[in-house]
Amino acid sequence: MTVSLSRGAVIDTACRLFAERGYRGTSMKDIAETLGVRASSLYNHVTSKQDILFAIMDKAMDRALSAQEEALAGVGDVSEQLRAATESLVLDFLRNPAEVTVCNTEVRSLDPANRAAIVAKRDRYASRVRAIIAAGCRAGRFEAAHPDLAAFAVLEMGNGAKSWFRPSGRFTDTYVAREYGAFALRMAGCAASELRV
């Protein structure tokens, strides 16, 4: 009988522990024990602890970016774009809380080269949201006094949702995402008549 580790299992387990206790608060021994194995065995599947951290974050950013692309594909109206982008963001946060927590709290634990790669992807993600709000303001459909400021507030909403959401709670994740999509439109100052579509 072989329980037999895999790279994926190591990374998934590490992700959960990093989210709970932080990167520096989690030892290779902790990860190994959770998997029922000795610490040295992990090195058959990953090259270092830093390697694990980067793999978690890189995978998570790619997932978020492609979910965002998919959500926006074929959506022309700028209000619907903001709604779709926000719903995608919130859904991603609610469905992958551990990965997202690691992404949000452990950027500082990345080696400089790894950090540059992750920050670039994060910026790409954020700039799409900024662009939508800016376009809506230019078109006179939103009336945010400062589009960038509203964009940051929207991007932060995912964290707000993640911090209290529990899958076993009153709401489904899709329902919460829709609710936050509406928050985003309101915050951007979208004309009230559009809000109840």
Partner DNA sequence: AACAGGCTAACGAACGTTCATTCGTTACCG
Partner DNA sequence: CGGTAACGAATGAACGTTCGTTAGCCTGTT
Give me 105's structure tokens. 């709290």
Q: What secondary structure letter does DSSP report for 73?
A: T
Q: Which of 131, 159, 173, 194 touches a copy of itself by CB under 8 A? A: 159
For residue 120, the surrounding DSSP H or E stretch is helix 112-138
Q: How far is the CB of 6 from a copy of itself (least distance, A)?
A: 28
Helix (H, G, I), strand (E, B) or coil at 148: helix
Q: Which listed option, a copy of itself, DNA, none, makes contact with residue 138 (CB within 5 to 8 Å by class)?
A: none
The nearest distance, CB 5 to a copy of itself, in angstroms, is: 26
Between 45 and 178, whose beta carbon lies closer to DNA?
A: 45
Residue 161 CB, shortest distance to a copy of itself, in Å, is 7
User: Hey, what are 82's tokens?
Assistant: 């903001």
The CA angle 104-105-108, to the nearest 5 degrees, is 110
Q: Are 86 and 180 in contact (CB under 8 A)?
A: yes
Give the C-alpha separation, 100 to 118, whole Å.
Answer: 13
The correct pick among 12, 22, 34, 37 for binding DNA (CB under 7 A) is 37
Site track 8-47 with a copy of itself (rule: CB under 8 A), x = hit: ------------xxx-xx----------------------
Q: Does 12 bind DNA (CB under 7 A)?
A: no
